[in-house]
């Protein structure tokens, strides 16, 4: 995919070739900015381009560097920094706020939002590029790109490196995105150190394992620094914790001092997305003065990097790119297979009276799911005539299967999709005049959406009803009975959804 009109909402969707192309362009723009060579970077002169900068959360670096980058490029910027004084305070949804900036003919949106998946929602909703400046604890892809640029600048390469990460690995979106990005390079080893309450989420560790990235969870900060070419420190994110107890326990567990830096190798670099907490500093003032800290240079790299991203999306740069892109994932709309209907005498071994007229028999259900399905299908609420039970499989007497018979009812496609998600491999028998007229076997749908009572398990997800953003939950199949939230990337078992 070319870069023109492209949104940058996550790091997953960028290929290694695209990342390297962006970093190469950033090096050119950085040199031009330092020399104030406007002919290289002022690419939007006289083009009447306007970017909306919508920062629902506090920011110094991301917002300022995007805005300065836009101005250097020749793009005007409008919007807000914090929701005080905006109609968000009157309860306006993200969708309606986006509507306004589109109506005012903005050509791009740069945003930071507290809800996971907000940027993905915005990118799907609007037809202009979205730049994710951080969505909840989910991702911060433009930070990750400038982090990669800084690592490459400092070490000269992105393959064959040892990167440590510490502080708040649980809530820190920067470390999640960076770990995912580094998995695209060869022989990268990751070293994690944090308080046990703030460990790297299992979903990220599973991703690294699946992508053959070596990682070690260390129990000593000295050990982690000693094993690392670069250590990426992060602030403990009090604002994302459910209560103060977790913060009080964890806030001092990963503090880097000058002694730590003296023990690290000569070429070592300490990175940090910033800000550092001045009350409980995760990098102490004596360490802050060390030449081994490279986070000021890192933050400065945000300017050329974000200028490049804006220029690419506006089609002002990079139209020559012919490298590999991740295409749009092909998803099959099918979630069942028709089976041959073999006429046979109805067996009564199940001790369940067969349907004599018409109706639906859901068979081969995973035991324990029948009750749940009855609730979801509103069987009792609708006063359906039904029978359900658990029986032994005829083919294997040790195995149990559950079934549910509903008289005078055919299931809709949405209802079938829901049964498929909760109990893949179950079978639906359509009964007409007491006989099976159609039999299908369900399998986990590639995409599950449009089912009103589906709920992502991540309470910070934009689709959760308590946030009142009216974004319908949507899931992508990630394994036999494993799903990934389309918006916030949280992984969950299919049965947790209902
Ligand atoms: N690194 C970063 O996102 O900093 P800000 O919160 O200041 O934007």
| Vertex 159 angle, CA 157 and 165, to 5° | 90
Q: Classify residue 11: in a domain, yes or no.
A: no
Q: Classify residue 249: in a domain, yes or no.
A: yes
Atom of ligand 1 nearest to the CA of 140: 3
Q: Is 154 in the active site?
A: no
Final residue in a domain of this structure, among 401, 419, 445: 445
Residue nearest to atom 3 of ligand 1 (CA): 62
Atom of ligand 1 nearest to the CA of 57: 6
User: Ligand 1: which of 63, 69, 167, 273 to mutate, judged by most atoms within 8 Å of the beta carbon?
Assistant: 273
Residue 479's pLDDT band, with cuts at 50, 70 and 90, is confident
Residue 350's pLDDT band, with cuts at 50, 70 and 90, is low
| Active-site hit among 30, 63, 137, 140 | 140
pTM of the predicted model over 0.85: yes
Tens of pLDDT, residues 313-333 = 999 999 999 998 887 666 677
Contact 400, 390 (CB under 8 A): yes
For ligand 1, the distance from its centroid to the CA atom of residue 440, given in whole angstroms, is 52
Q: What is the pLDDT of residue 348?
A: 46
The arithmetic mean of pLDDT across residues 5-16, rounded, is 94
Q: Classify residue 43: in a domain, yes or no.
A: yes
Whether 146 and 130 map to the same domain: the answer is no
Whether 129 and 210 map to the same domain: the answer is no
Supply the CATH number for residue 462's domain. Answer: 2.30.30
Q: Classify residue 107: in a domain, yes or no.
A: yes
For ligand 1, the distance from its centroid to the CA atom of residue 50, given in whole angstroms, is 22
Q: Classify residue 330: in a domain, yes or no.
A: no
| Active-site hit among 6, 25, 30, 112 | 112
Whether 162 and 219 map to the same domain: the answer is yes
How far apart CA 18 and CA 252 sit, in angstroms, is: 38
The arithmetic mean of pLDDT across residues 18-31, rounded, is 98
Tens of pLDDT, residues 27-49 = 999 999 999 999 999 999 999 99
For ligand 1, the distance from its centroid to the CA atom of residue 303, given in whole angstroms, is 13
Whether 420 and 373 map to the same domain: the answer is yes
Atom of ligand 1 nearest to the CA of 274: 1
Residue 347's pLDDT band, with cuts at 50, 70 and 90, is low
For ligand 1, the distance from its centroid to the CA atom of residue 253, given in whole angstroms, is 22
The arithmetic mean of pLDDT across residues 92-120, rounded, is 98
Tens of pLDDT, residues 253-277 = 899 999 999 999 999 999 999 999 9
Tens of pLDDT, residues 66-82 = 999 999 999 999 999 99
The answer, yes or no, to whether residue 351 has pLDDT greater than 80, is: no
Q: Classify residue 158: in a domain, yes or no.
A: yes
User: Ligand 1: which of 62, 140, 167 to mutate, judged by most atoms within 8 Å of the beta carbon?
Assistant: 62
For ligand 1, the distance from its centroid to the CA atom of residue 343, given in whole angstroms, is 67
Enter the tokens of residue 22.
């962006």
Whether 412 and 491 map to the same domain: the answer is no
Atom of ligand 1 nearest to the CA of 134: 3
Q: Is 218 in the active site?
A: no
Q: Classify residue 318: in a domain, yes or no.
A: no
Whether 397 and 462 map to the same domain: the answer is no
Burial of 35 (0-12, 13-18, 19+ CB in 10 A): exposed
Q: What residues make up the domain containing 340?
A: 336-445
How far apart CA 33 and CA 153 sit, in angstroms, is: 16
Q: Is 240 in the active site?
A: no
Sheet of strand 435-442: strand arrangement: 336-339, 435-442, 427-432, 359-365, 400-407, 386-392
Residue nearest to atom 4 of ligand 1 (CA): 61
Residue nearest to atom 1 of ligand 1 (CA): 273
- Return the H-helix or E-strand segment holding 193: strand 189-194
User: Ligand 1: which of 81, 178, 275 to mutate, judged by most atoms within 8 Å of the beta carbon?
Assistant: 275
How far apart CA 73 and CA 94 sit, in angstroms, is: 27
CB atoms within 10 A of CB 491: 20
Whether 473 and 437 map to the same domain: the answer is no
User: Ligand 1: which of 61, 142, 145 to mutate, judged by most atoms within 8 Å of the beta carbon?
Assistant: 61
Contact 178, 139 (CB under 8 A): no
Whether 212 and 177 map to the same domain: the answer is yes
Residue nearest to atom 6 of ligand 1 (CA): 59
How far apart CA 325 and CA 328 sit, in angstroms, is: 9
| Active-site hit among 6, 25, 26, 62 | 62
Q: Is 140 in the active site?
A: yes
Contact 192, 166 (CB under 8 A): yes
For ligand 1, the distance from its centroid to the CA atom of residue 275, given in whole angstroms, is 7
Q: Is 62 in the active site?
A: yes
| Active-site hit among 25, 30, 61, 170 | 61
Atom of ligand 1 nearest to the CA of 63: 8
Whether 175 and 121 map to the same domain: the answer is no
How far apart CA 342 and CA 477 sit, in angstroms, is: 31
For ligand 1, the distance from its centroid to the CA atom of residue 254, given in whole angstroms, is 20
Atom of ligand 1 nearest to the CA of 273: 1
Whether 167 and 243 map to the same domain: the answer is yes
Pairing of strands 482-485, 491-493: antiparallel
How far apart CA 460 and CA 80 sit, in angstroms, is: 22
Supply the CATH number for residue 26's domain. Answer: 3.40.50.1370
- Return the H-helix or E-strand segment holding 428: strand 427-432
Q: What is the pLDDT of residue 233?
A: 98
Whether 362 and 228 map to the same domain: the answer is no
Final residue in a domain of this structure, among 253, 279, 313: 313
Q: Classify residue 226: in a domain, yes or no.
A: yes
Residue 148's pLDDT band, with cuts at 50, 70 and 90, is very high
Pocket of ligand 1 (CB under 6 A): 59-62, 134, 143, 273-275
For ligand 1, the distance from its centroid to the CA atom of residue 205, given in whole angstroms, is 25
Total number of domains in the chain: 4
Final residue in a domain of this structure, among 245, 279, 313: 313
pLDDT above 90 covers a percentage of the chain that reads: 71
User: Ligand 1: which of 53, 54, 60 to mutate, judged by most atoms within 8 Å of the beta carbon?
Assistant: 60
Q: Give me the chain's average pLDDT, please.
A: 92
For ligand 1, the distance from its centroid to the CA atom of residue 273, given in whole angstroms, is 7
Whether 118 and 192 map to the same domain: the answer is no
For ligand 1, the distance from its centroid to the CA atom of residue 215, given in whole angstroms, is 26
The answer, yes or no, to whether residue 490 has pLDDT greater than 60, is: yes
Tens of pLDDT, residues 137-146 = 899 999 999 9
């Amino acid at each position: 995919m070319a870069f023109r009109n492209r949104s940058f909402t996550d790091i997953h969707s960028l290929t290694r070739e695209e990342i390297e192309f962006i970093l190469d362009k950033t090096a050119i723009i950085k040199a031009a900015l330092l020399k104030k060579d406007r002919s290289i970077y002022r690419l939007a002169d006289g083009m009447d381009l306007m970017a909306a900068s919508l920062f629902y959360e506090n920011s110094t670096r991301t917002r300022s560097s995007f805005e300065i980058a836009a101005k250097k490029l020749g793009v005007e910027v409008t919007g807000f920094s914090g929701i005080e004084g905006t109609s968000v305070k009157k309860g306006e949804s993200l969708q309606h706020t986006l509507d306004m900036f589109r109506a005012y003919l903005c050509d791009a949106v740069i945003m930071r939002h507290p809800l996971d998946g907000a940027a993905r929602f915005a990118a799907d909703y609007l037809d202009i590029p979205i730049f994710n400046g951080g969505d909840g604890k989910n991702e911060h892809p433009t930070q990750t790109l400038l982090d990669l640029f800084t690592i490459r600048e400092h070490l000269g390469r992105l393959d064959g490196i040892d990167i440590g990460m510490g502080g708040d690995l649980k809530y820190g979106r920067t470390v999640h995105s960076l770990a995912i990005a580094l998995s695209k390079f060869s022989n990268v080893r990751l070293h994690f150190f944090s308080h046990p309450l703030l460990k790297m989420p299992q979903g990220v560790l599973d991703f690294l394992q699946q992508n053959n990235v070596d990682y070690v969870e260390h129990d000593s900060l000295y050990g982690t620094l000693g094993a690392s070419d670069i250590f990426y420190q992060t602030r403990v994110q009090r604002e994302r914790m459910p209560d103060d107890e977790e913060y009080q326990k964890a806030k001092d567990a990963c503090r880097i001092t000058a002694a730590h830096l003296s023990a690290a190798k000569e070429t070592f670099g300490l990175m940090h997305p910033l800000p550092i907490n001045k009350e409980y500093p995760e990098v102490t003032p004596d360490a802050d003065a060390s030449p081994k800290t490279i986070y000021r240079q890192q933050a400065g790299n945000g300017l050329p990097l974000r200028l490049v991203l804006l220029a690419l999306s506006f089609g002002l740069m990079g139209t020559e790119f012919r490298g590999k892109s991740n295409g749009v994932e092909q998803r099959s709309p099918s979630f069942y297979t028709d089976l041959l209907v073999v006429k046979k005498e109805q067996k009564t071994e199940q001790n369940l009276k067969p349907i004599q007229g018409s109706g639906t028999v859901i068979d081969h259900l995973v035991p324990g799911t029948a009750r749940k399905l009855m609730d979801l299908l509103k069987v009792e609420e609708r006063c359906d005539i039904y029978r359900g039970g658990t029986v032994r499989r005829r083919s294997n007497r040790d195995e149990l299967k559950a079934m549910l018979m509903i008289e005078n009812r055919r299931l809709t496609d949405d209802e079938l999709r829901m049964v498929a998600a909760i109990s893949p491999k179950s079978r639906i028998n359509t009964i007409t005049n007491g006989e099976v007229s159609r039999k299908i076997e369900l399998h986990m749908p590639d995409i599950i959406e449009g089912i009103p009572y589906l709920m992502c398990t991540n309470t910070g997800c934009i689709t959760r009803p308590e946030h009142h953003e009216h974004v319908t939950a949507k899931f992508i199949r990630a394994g036999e009975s494993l799903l990934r939230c389309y918006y916030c990337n949280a992984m969950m078992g299919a049965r947790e959804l209902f």
